[in-house]
Amino acid sequence: MNAYSKTPLLDTIRTPEDLRKLKVEQVRQVADELRQETIDAVSVTGGHFGAGLGVVELTTAIHYVFDTPRDRLIWDVGHQAYPHKILTGRRDRIRTLRTGGGLSGFTKRSESDYDPFGAAHSSTSISAGLGMAVARDLSGGKNNVIAVIGDGAMSAGMAYEAMNNAGAMNSRLIVILNDNDMSIAPPVGAMSAYLSRLYSGKTYRTLRDAAKQINKRLPKILANRANRVEEYSRGFMMDGGTLFEELGFYYVGPIDGHNLDHLLPVLKNVRDMEEGPILVHVVTQKGKGYGPAEASADKYHAVVKFDVATGTQAKAKPNAPAYQNVFGQSLVKEAQKDDKIVAITAAMPSGTGVDIFNKAFPDRTFDVGIAEQHAVTFAAGLASEGYKPFCAIYSTFLQRGYDQIVHDVAIQSLPVRFAIDRAGLVGADGATHAGSFDNAYLGCLPNMVIMAAADEAELVHMVATQVAIDDRPSSLRYPRGEGRGIEMPDVGVPLEIGKGRMIRQGNKIALLSFGTRLAECEKAADELAAHGLSTSIADARFMKPLDTELVLKLARDHDVLITIEEGSIGGFGSHVAQFLTDQGVLDTGMVRFRSMVLPDVFQDHDTPAAMYARAGLDAKGIVAKVFEALGKDVKAETVKLA
C-alpha cells in the first residue's frame, strides 16, 4: 500500500469481492476514496460527472451487499457508472474514458462481466432486469437482479410499462429509484430510515402476510378498516410510494442515499426478501461531495477537463458558433415574427438549443421529459390546431418516437418540424449517440421534406424554410459541434423546396454532398484539381424531394458522380441511385456512380475526426473513392504527381 496515496483502502480493492472482505465500518472510507478517485479521473478525461458523484455511496453499498456479477446490476442510461467501473476491475483504465480504444462512457457488455446490460439511452433498465429475472426463474436460478433508475428516467413511459408488467408477474426484481431531483420525498431522517428498515425486514413482512390471511376471514367492514390502518401507517413514511404499490411493487423508502448506516441494512433486508418485485426509493444529491458541482445549477452533469481545486473547466478556443446555438437563435428570430411557433424537446433543452428559445419564450417552450414518443404526438396535436411546433430531438433519440412519426405525423401530413441535432458521428459518446440512421428511417416516409444544413448559415435559412412549410412534416439535420466560422445572414430566407445549389463548377468529377461533409468535399476537390481532375461540387440541401434536375445534370456532364453523407446505407445515396436507375442513366455506363455512407458497423467512440477518417468520409477518403471509381491507384497517381 502506498503510504502517500490519497486512496489507500481503495488501492487494495481490485473487484467487489475484495470490497466484501472488508469490515462494515470500513465501507465509509471506501466510498470517500471512491469519490476522490472519480473526481480526479474525470478532471483528466471529462465526461458525465454529477450523476456519478451522487451514487458513490449507493454504488459502494450495492457491491458490498450483493454478490456481483452473479447478482445482476443494471445502471439505467449508464452515465452514472464511473464509480462502478472503478470498483469492478477497470480502475487502471479509468483515465481512458471516452477516448479512442479506451473505456466507454456508459455500461457495455463487451467491456466487463459486471456490465450485464449495455445502455446509454434512458429507461430501459427495468425491462431488461425483468427479462433477466424471468430467465433466472426459468433456469431455476437464485441470483438477484437490481436495476438502478434515476428520477429523470422514470418520466419515460417505458419504465412504467415495465413496472406494470413486473408487478403483474410478481417476479423477484429489485428496482432502486435514485431520486436526485424529483423532490417527491420529504426530508429524510432517522424516523424514515427506521421505518424503511422495519418495513423491509422479514418480521414485518411475515406479520403483514399473516394479517392479509386473517383479513380474508374477517367480515368485510372490519377487513377494510384494518387494511386502511396499515396503509396509513405506511403512508406516513412513504409519501410517493402509493403509485409504485399500485403497480404491484413492495415500496421501501425514502432513505438517505449518502448515509451508509441507512443504506446497508435496508439493502441487506431487500436482498434477503424471497418475493418481489421491490422498489427502494433512495434520495441522493447530484454532484455530492464536490463543492463546485453542488453549487452549479446543472450539478456538473457533463464536463470537459477541469481543475480539481477550483472546478474551473477548460475553455475551448472561441471558434465558430455551435450548431445547436445557431438553431436556438434562429428559432427565436422566427418566433418574434410568428406567435404560432412553439418549441418542444425531450429532456435536452441545452443540448438542442431550446434553452435559448425558452429564455425568450418560456410560455411557448415545452420540455416533456424523457418521453420522445409523447413529444412527437404532442407536437402533432399542436400542429393539428394550427400551431407550428419545432420538435428538437437528437437523431439517436428520435428513433424512439418512430411509430409516432409514421402514424401520428406523416400519415396525417401534419406540419411538425423536426430539428434533428447530433446528426452524424458524435465522438466520445460513441455508437449509442451517433445520428447514423435518420436519413434512412425518415427517407422512406411519404409526405416528408428532408433537409441537411451544409454549414451554420444554411441552418439559419433552413429554419426559415421549415416555418414556411405548412402542409406536411419536415426535418432538418445538423451535427454536434461548431460550424465553419462563415459570415452569418441577419435573417433566414426560405429556400425553394427540393432545390440544391452548385458550389464549384468542373467537368470531370462531380461531388454531391448532403450535409456538413461539404467542407471535406472542397478539400478533396482541391487535391483532385492538383491531379488534373476538374471537379464540380454541389450541395443537395434536400434529400426529399430530391433535386432531380441537378442530379441528372451532374450525371450527364461528368465521368464520375459521388454522393457523400453523414449517414448509414439507405439514405441520400440510395435515393439518388434509385432515381438514376429509374431514369436509365446507369444503363449506358456514361457515368460511374458511387455513394459514400457510414460503414455498416457500430463505430466505437473516438474523436469525430478520427471516426470520420476510419469511416472514409474525410477528404482523403473522398479522393480515394474517386480514384477507385476511375480504376486508378491513388498512391501511384500521387507518386506521378510528385
Active-site annotation, residues: 286, 372, 400
- For the chain, how big is the Rg over CA atoms in Å? 28
Q: What SS3 class is residue 377? A: helix
| Strands 145-150 and 174-179, bridge-based pairing | parallel
Tell me the C-alpha distance between 92 and 414, whole Å.
53
543 close to 439: Cβ distance less than 8 angstroms = yes
Work out the burial of residue 142: count CB atoms within 10 Å of its CB; fewer than 13 is exposed, 13-18 middle, 19 or more buried. Answer: exposed
What sign does the CA torsion over 388, 393, 398, 400 have?
negative
Q: What SS3 class is residue 225? A: helix
174 close to 72: Cβ distance less than 8 angstroms = no
34 close to 6: Cβ distance less than 8 angstroms = no
Residue 254 main-chain phi, psi, to 5 deg? -80, 145
Q: Name which of 233, 220, 261, 284 is nearest 54 in CA terms.
A: 284
Q: Name which of 446, 438, 492 is nearest 465 in CA terms.
A: 492
Q: Name which of 392, 539, 523 is nearest 458 in CA terms.
A: 539
Cα distances (angstroms) measured from residue 94 to each of 107, 272, 428, 571, 581: 13, 33, 14, 37, 51
Q: What is the number of residues in the chain?
A: 642
Query: Count of alpha carbons within 13 Å of 186, Cβ hemisphere only?
Result: 11
- Output the CA torsion 235→241→247→248 (10° steps): -70
Q: Count of CB atoms within 10 A of residue 589's CB?
A: 7
Tell me the C-alpha distance between 97 and 105, whole Å.
6
CA-based angle 129:244:241, to the nearest 5?
Answer: 130
User: What does the H/E/C string look like for 76-139?
Assistant: CCCCCCHHHHHHHHHHHHHHHCCCCCCCCCCCCCCCCCCCCCCCCCCCCHHHHHHHHHHHHHHH
Tell me the C-alpha distance between 339 and 335, whole Å.
6
Q: Count of CB atoms within 10 A of residue 3's CB?
A: 5
User: What single letter denotes the amino acid at residue 547?
Assistant: D
562 close to 540: Cβ distance less than 8 angstroms = no
86 close to 41: Cβ distance less than 8 angstroms = yes
User: What single letter denotes the amino acid at residue 241?
Assistant: G
Q: What SS3 class is residue 413? A: coil
